[in-house]
Structure 1
């Protein structure tokens, strides 16, 4: 079937008597409770479970191989190809599946806070709580905007539809498929709501660079003087914690675009991890979980309906989804000028990277492409000791284009706006995981504050002889010894051996990149 047939199928679906379009938050909450999809917690948040899939399914993610995008996509394990024929077949079956439902729910909104670059989207769900999730995570239109809303991309999410690998060409019952020509994302076989959020991000990671805008997996905030900071980092590095600064206003916590005008948030909400959440540690997130928010897989007391954020019986990946307006200290709309400071966060469990270092442009692009952090023992089955993990551009699962494309754009932005780049290690000091200790948050905050205020731009530095990093000799509020990892280890030989081990991992990982400038290859990485 051609794309015209697909369009008509969608129109027939949306014209059905079972369709609820743009329900309000209270209406959606009522639907969730009436349909038995979730319960209400003591703070008024909706709590739902996602079944056996408590996280993303990257091995079940596909991109349709189409003439207009075939030569642009970075095909491989992240961007797995699937034929147009298989997509169309599955699409039509999912449409028929939704037509037979008593109710389906449609949200219309936007991706991109900058009106010059935003993308109108619509989200079609068979679950009311998924539609509530979309309402909170994407940008909500005003009445006038809604009247003129024409979706440029559509998510169709049908968790109850299970794929048959023998018929549909999938690897399992789950599928997340993106067709750029049909402007459609097809999701089925999983109840994990985060697939919707990240699918739109993947789409924006294709659309924005094609329009000359750098898309980034990072948080962002702005200071009182209008100075903008970006925080890149993988899970567990402190990205959300460090960007939530009471002295700075939050632009967004996860996804941003960098245009010729500056930074803008791609989303209208936050999707925060909440395992072991407390008001003392994360007051902004804790207090944002109220009526209209969505809790995923959080255990709740059956009598008091109070959330138990320490209970991980279902998953460590418990989540809270809420609109960014639930946080007091934000900038509205979610956009600002060009970044003055860029922070790369890593949680080095080997305990050998400096707690803060100033990067040259070549080092910045090297570490951006590397996207290093550590997985710790116990986080996944089979991991018994810290393991280095590298996620290209700090977001490889969501990058449709070759990584070098994003790195080249970042390099141009750094040059154009003279942004200062720092690598901050929030991991271990005084030894590796199990021997040393986690870097004190107070020290990390002091180092980040000094970087944001420009105090480290021209200070004396000491060059790390293994990693080639320029480490400040002094940072206000931080003992000098802490700044030099080799001085925090009791055994210098053990330190050097572990540092050389990590440096070699960097080198081997970077071998996969080709076509980079000789300066990045020669001066960006470790000196081994």
Structure 2
């Protein structure tokens, strides 16, 4: 199937009488209820469940092998190739399937809050609640923008269409396929709404670098003086908690671009984890879950429809999707200046990394490429002791290009804008998990505040002998001995042994970059 027939098939679907485009939130909520796709909660949000798949399906994600991209993509387990023929066959089948449905829903919007760099997109859904999700997560066009909106990328999601691996060339019934030449994402066999959000993030991770823009998997906020901070960190490191600051306005909580003009949010909403959500701990998220929001796989009381956020019966990965405007203290539109400070967050369960370190450019690139945190004993079957976890650029599942390209862009932008980078350990102190204790949140907040306020720019430091990191000797509000992890361990020999063990894990993980990142390894990695 050539691009003309692809375009014709899509045009026929969009112009069909049963395709409903740009329904309002109330209209979509009505559709969800009428079609039995979900129920209303006590706060007016829609609750839907996703069946078998309650998270992303990374093994079912593909990129089409095409002449214009084949030499650019970092092919491998993350970016699996699929042929143009297989994509075209599946595309034809999915469109035929959708044309035979009673109703199909289409949303037109944008990815990217900066009007100079935004990507016009459209999302076509079999489910009304998926279209409501798209309405919440992507940027909604103003009424006067709709007539001139011309989509440059299309997401087509048909959860009930299942692939036949023997015929379709997939590994299972589920597929998430990106075609950069056809400017299309094709999703089937999964009801998990997050696939739509993350597929567009993957697209932006390919498109933005071509325009000198660094795509980033991070949260961002801005202070009263206009100073911008970025927070990178994997799940459990405290990214959401630390970036939510009453003294700073939120730019966005998950995906951003760093352009020649500054930072902009890629999304128009939030997709927050809500397991164990409580109004006392995270009031902004809790209060945002009202009419128009979407709850995914959250347990409800059958009669009262009150959400039980502590119930993980369906999954630990319960989610809430809502517009940014549903929370207070935001930047609107989600655009700000160049970052003054970048915080890399890690929850080191080995208890050996300093609670805060100043990073050189090479160290920042090294730890960006490493993306380290640790899994805890008991969180997964078979995990009996802390395990080092590395996710390249803090977002390895979403990087179509070789990771070093993103790290080099980071280093260049740090130089251009004199951006300070800090590694903050929110994990354990005084020993590893099981013997030590979790770093006090009050201490972490004090260290982050000192970094953001510029108090650490000229502070006296000491070099950590094993990791080569510059550690401040004094931070207001934090005991001096806490800043030096070896001083918090009762057994110095045990500390050195565990620290060298983690350093070896860093080096082993970094071997995949040996051939392209020699200077980063020499100047940025562990020294012992």
Alignment-derived partner of residue 393 in structure 1: 393
Task: Count residues with an aligned counterpart.
Answer: 528
Alignment-derived partner of residue 28 in structure 1: 28
State the shift of 1:481 in Å.
1.3
State the shift of 1:384 in Å.
2.2
1:288-338 deviations in whole A, cap 9, x for unaligned? 111100011110111111111101111111110000001111011101000
Conserved? CA contact 2:462–2:472, under 8 Å: yes
Alignment-derived partner of residue 233 in structure 2: 233
Alignment-derived partner of residue 42 in structure 1: 42
Residue 252 of structure 1 pairs with residue 252 of structure 2: yes
State the shift of 1:515 in Å.
4.5
Alignment-derived partner of residue 201 in structure 2: 201
Decide which moves more: 159-168 or 509-518.
509-518
Alignment-derived partner of residue 369 in structure 2: 369
For 1:326 and 1:433, the matched residues in 2 are separated by 37
Alignment-derived partner of residue 290 in structure 2: 290
Alignment-derived partner of residue 272 in structure 1: 272
The DSSP-based 3-state class of the residue aligned with 1:511 is helix
Conserved? CA contact 2:219–2:240, under 8 Å: yes
Residue 109 of structure 1 pairs with residue 109 of structure 2: yes
Decide which moves more: 395-404 or 13-22.
13-22
Alignment-derived partner of residue 457 in structure 1: 457
Q: 1:514/1:500 Cα in 2 relative to 1: closer, same or farther (>3 Å)?
A: closer
The DSSP-based 3-state class of the residue aligned with 1:143 is coil
Alignment of 1:331-410 (within 5 A): 331-410=331-410
For 2:382 and 2:199, the matched residues in 1 are separated by 29
State the shift of 1:514 in Å.
3.7
For 2:6 and 2:168, the matched residues in 1 are separated by 17
For 1:187 and 1:239, the matched residues in 2 are separated by 29
| Unaligned residue ranges in structure 1 (runs of 5+) | none
For 2:159 and 2:338, the matched residues in 1 are separated by 40
Alignment of 1:429-444 (within 5 A): 429-444=429-444
For 1:310 and 1:491, the matched residues in 2 are separated by 38
Alignment-derived partner of residue 506 in structure 1: 506
For 1:21 and 1:174, the matched residues in 2 are separated by 26
Decide which moves more: 24-33 or 506-515.
506-515
Alignment-derived partner of residue 155 in structure 1: 155
Conserved? CA contact 2:404–2:517, under 8 Å: no
Q: TM-score, normalised by structure 1?
A: 0.99
For 2:123 and 2:375, the matched residues in 1 are separated by 34
Alignment-derived partner of residue 76 in structure 1: 76
State the shift of 1:380 in Å.
2.7
State the shift of 1:519 in Å.
3.2
| Unaligned residue ranges in structure 2 (runs of 5+) | none
For 1:289 and 1:70, the matched residues in 2 are separated by 42
For 1:455 and 1:78, the matched residues in 2 are separated by 40
Q: CA RMSD in A?
A: 0.9
Runs ≥4 residues deviating over 6 A: none
Residue 417 of structure 1 pairs with residue 399 of structure 2: no
The DSSP-based 3-state class of the residue aligned with 1:382 is coil
State the shift of 1:517 in Å.
5.1
